[in-house]
Structure 1
Amino acid sequence: MDDIVNLSIVGVLIALTAFFVASEFAIVKVRSSRINQLVAEGSKKAIMAKKVTSRLDEYLSACQLGITVTSLGLGWIGKPAVKELLVRGFGLTNIPDSAISLISATLAFSIITFLHVVVGELAPKTLAIQKAEKMTLWLSGPLHAFYILMYPFIYVLNGSARMLTKMMGIDMGAEKEHSHSEEELKILLSESLKNGEINPSEYNYMNKIFDFDNRIAREIMIPRREICAIPEDMPLDDILAVMTKEKYTRFPVFSGDKDHVIGMLNKKQLFADIVYQEEKDQLKIQDYIYPVIEVIDTIPIQQLLVKMQRDRMHMAILTDEYGGTSGLVTTEDILEEIVGDIRDEFDEDEQPVIQKRADHHYVLDGKVRLDEVQDLIELPYNDEEIDTIGGLILKENIDIQEGQSIYLDDIRIKVLEMDGRYIKKIDLKKGVMSSDKDNTRTGLDIKEPLLVNEMTLSEK
């Protein structure tokens, strides 16, 4: 009868060890954000789990106390109980009595150690890690009850540990809620994508949102030379012709030149009044000009979006540090930074700013940002003063013409289309060997002796 009781106690101690080990790993592994979600959904078990996970230091001490006590109990009761059974079993054999004691003690120690390590620790640890959420919800209640029961001991043990760490010069301080950095969140998103928790579109949106705060308005603006603006004194018929051709809804209005934007003209309102106005000549353009936002072109686009929402404006004029107009930004330009290109029925002929021809071969718009180009082909170039690939080309060769190229190591950048000094389209190709380079000596291929010879000839 005593053997059955002792073995039952051994089984209970191993089960308790498994309980405390599983609780320890589960409450550490479980995601607090998931527990918060379950609490919001009204789960009663999640409320207790939230209480446990929000005070990890104290409840982990409870787990450690439980594991220590059960381990000591196994050593105190388990080994002698198993040894006694083995001694009786071996007593029925012809093994000498002197050897039976040694063999029984060794086997008893091995059996108890195996059960303690495998059944009491490794198996529950693996289960808790794999099913952290479920295990936390199931075990938080009993663990809380044990914590209340053993609170005086846990309080003394925690206090002693804090005093010891303080003597070592370590100030534990108050517990702080752990928060994830932006890079950590990106890693979590990558893991969620890999495991199928989110789809590629959601992953791309989130990555673009992280980059959103790092963008400034100048990087996404429509450059000054591409702005379709209307002079203040333009005749109405000419204004209607421009509006019919360009298909935009809103047009900046300037006085004198584009450095003096005085407002914005809404095509829809103007056309509606023309339809219902019997005498079109009585319309005054000045009555349809509304104020427009003017901001410095280095403003973060997140701040610009907030300002446009607050002022209920769909367009903002960007100015440079000297007060001149540098470009224009619309709400569509800002939203495209998150969701990608937004095309309407009037954009059928519009070509993508990045067109892939082959591996490491692209046709790009001249105003594509250098950081976007770096994502396609790593350029051996770093200049914070230049924003676009067109700016890079002009930096290397201000006199470059259509059809000419510059070379950066094995990368050829060829100008396909220009409008004056403005580079509209380029051909970018990586892996161009020196023997394949054309004879145009531009950009990085310009040699100083060549310039000297040209100057000498011109002087003659």
Structure 2
Amino acid sequence: MSELTGLVLTVVLLGANAFFVGAEFALISARRTVVEPKALAGSWAARVTLGAMENVSMMMAGAQLGITICSLALGWISEPAIAHLLEVPFAAIGVPEALLHPVAFAIALSLVTYLHVVFGEMVPKNIALAGPERMAVVLGPVLVGVVTVLRPLLWLLNGVANTILRLLRVEPKDEVASVFTRDEVAALVEESRQGGLLEANDERLLLGALTFEERSVAGVVIPLAEVTVLPAGTTPAQAETVAAGGFSRFPVLDVFGEPAGYVHIKDLLELDARVRDAPIDPLLIRRLPEIGREVPLRRALALMQHSGAHLGLVLGPEGRAEGIVTLEDVLEELVGQIRDDSRRLRVR
């Protein structure tokens, strides 16, 4: 083989090695949420790339086989070709014949190794990581073609590798996981805010939503002793007097002193003057949904939405009424402070 042919093959092998490295890192790093919309929009390359991402084990086997073949070929073809080229100038400057080939081969080996590491590994890896989705769509279909041609061999190699993994009690994965835990998403949100991609208010909303599931009604319950209530027999006129303090919804007690429901002051303002001094009509008393103290806030929100109630009766472990929870307080745990006419029933 001539030295020129060896040099041309060196460039080809470095390019092939770079392709396999770039395709491998691109498919591993690409986010499905970015590639999938392109596939739905009709992109053939994106559809093929999605298939590759769903069969990543076989794709990685193909990429690794390609990298291995290119590396071995570089050692077999490129190093001797470059060494032969170096022997001519070394002989001209008087390098002893006994040292001529060893010195030329050592330098050729170092040069090929450098080119392989830099141009065959590091450069394509960094390019792929800089834009994984774009590179995956470009390189993925080509790698799929290579894997299709070599499938029988890759099936054997991949099967052996998966068997070894199972012996080590490691379950092989065919698809790259693209899901995150709640803590990981929270860390991403914080990093995005620190990087200037999110406003502080947006960060607070997102973090509030992420931690909403972890919090219970116990953190927002208002003890009954701190709630302004209307005793049994309260008239609309008396309720309006109490409402002058700025609140619009009040729990109503039954004859036993237990919360029986709640009234909205707007329902009383529309009453005829003849009934303003009579006890509040039971039909105007709205139902208080019962919510356990340790119930998650998400469940409490769903219960209040289903019943259409803005207040809920919080029950302790023994089923006794312990306090009141407001829809506003539950929502504040999710979106931050809210101000309206029913804000906090604490008066006493």
Q: Give 1:40 shift.
A: 5.2
Question: Which residue of 336, 339, 344 corresponds with 2:340?
Answer: 344
Q: Give 1:186 shift.
A: 2.2
Task: Quote the residue 1:298 is aligned against.
Answer: 294
Structure 1 segment 35-434 matched on structure 2, within 5 A: 35-36=35-36, 38-39=38-39, 43-166=43-166, 168-170=167-169, 172=171, 175=174, 178=177, 179-243=179-243, 245-256=244-255, 258=257, 260-271=258-269, 273-274=270-271, 277=272, 279-280=274-275, 285-286=280-281, 287-344=283-340
Given that 1:212 and 1:337 are in contact with CA atoms closer than 8 Å, whether structure 2 keeps it comes out as: yes
Instruction: For 2:59 and 2:46, locate their aligned partners in 1 and report how far apart those are by CA, in whole Å.
Output: 16
Given that 2:239 and 2:265 are in contact with CA atoms closer than 8 Å, whether structure 1 keeps it comes out as: no
Instruction: For 1:263 and 1:346, locate their aligned partners in 2 and report how far apart those are by CA, in whole Å.
Output: 16
- 2:214 counterpart SS class: coil
Q: Give 1:336 shift.
A: 0.5
> Alpha carbons of 1:345 and 1:263: their partners in 2 closer, same or farther (altered >3 Å)?
closer
Q: Give 1:99 shift.
A: 3.3
Q: Give 1:113 shift.
A: 1.4
Instruction: For 2:306 and 2:236, locate their aligned partners in 1 and report how far apart those are by CA, in whole Å.
Output: 32
- Which has the larger displacement, 48-57 or 89-98? 89-98
Q: Give 1:268 shift.
A: 1.4
Q: Give 1:278 shift.
A: 6.3
Instruction: For 1:193 and 1:43, locate their aligned partners in 2 and report how far apart those are by CA, in whole Å.
Output: 33
- Which has the larger displacement, 184-193 or 143-152? 184-193
Q: Give 1:323 shift.
A: 4.2
Q: 1:366-419: per-residue Cα shift (whole Å, max 9, x none)?
A: x9xxxxxxxxxxxxxxxxxxxxxxxxxxxxxxxxxxxxxxxxxxxxxxxxxxx7
Bigger relative contact order, structure 1 or 2, given CA contacts below 8 A and separation 6+? 2
Q: Give 1:90 shift.
A: 3.4
Instruction: For 1:185 and 1:52, locate their aligned partners in 2 and report how far apart those are by CA, in whole Å.
Output: 26
- 1:9 counterpart SS class: helix
Instruction: For 2:42 and 2:200, locate their aligned partners in 1 and report how far apart those are by CA, in whole Å.
Output: 31
Instruction: For 2:131 and 2:263, locate their aligned partners in 1 and report how far apart those are by CA, in whole Å.
Output: 61
Given that 1:218 and 1:327 are in contact with CA atoms closer than 8 Å, whether structure 2 keeps it comes out as: no
Name the one with the larger helix percent. Answer: 2
Q: Give 1:50 shift.
A: 1.9
Count of matched residue pairs: 344
Q: 1:185-235: per-residue Cα shift (whole Å, max 9, x none)?
A: 222222222333333222222222232222221220222122122123123
- 1:290 counterpart SS class: coil
Structure 1 segment 17-32 matched on structure 2, within 5 A: 17-32=17-32
Task: Compute the TM-score of the two structures, normalised by the length of structure 2.
Answer: 0.88
Counterpart residue type for residue 260 of structure 2: I
Q: Give 1:140 shift.
A: 0.8
> Alpha carbons of 1:339 and 1:41: their partners in 2 closer, same or farther (altered >3 Å)?
farther
> Alpha carbons of 1:48 and 1:119: their partners in 2 closer, same or farther (altered >3 Å)?
same
- Which has the larger displacement, 324-333 or 94-103? 94-103
Structure 1 spans left out of the alignment, 5+ residues: 351-366, 368-418, 420-460
- Which has the larger displacement, 338-347 or 12-21? 338-347
> Alpha carbons of 1:18 and 1:177: their partners in 2 closer, same or farther (altered >3 Å)?
closer
Task: Compute the TM-score of the two structures, normalised by the length of structure 1.
Answer: 0.68
Counterpart residue type for residue 247 of structure 2: Y
- 2:314 counterpart SS class: strand
Q: Give 1:148 shift.
A: 1.0
> Alpha carbons of 1:58 and 1:206: their partners in 2 closer, same or farther (altered >3 Å)?
same
Q: 1:293-333: per-residue Cα shift (whole Å, max 9, x none)?
A: 12332322211111111122221111333444311111111
> Alpha carbons of 1:174 and 1:131: their partners in 2 closer, same or farther (altered >3 Å)?
closer
Counterpart residue type for residue 261 of structure 1: P
Instruction: For 2:284 and 2:155, locate their aligned partners in 1 and report how far apart those are by CA, in whole Å.
Output: 75
CA RMSD of aligned residues (A): 2.7
- 1:317 counterpart SS class: strand
> Alpha carbons of 1:22 and 1:148: their partners in 2 closer, same or farther (altered >3 Å)?
same
Given that 2:205 and 2:334 are in contact with CA atoms closer than 8 Å, whether structure 1 keeps it comes out as: yes
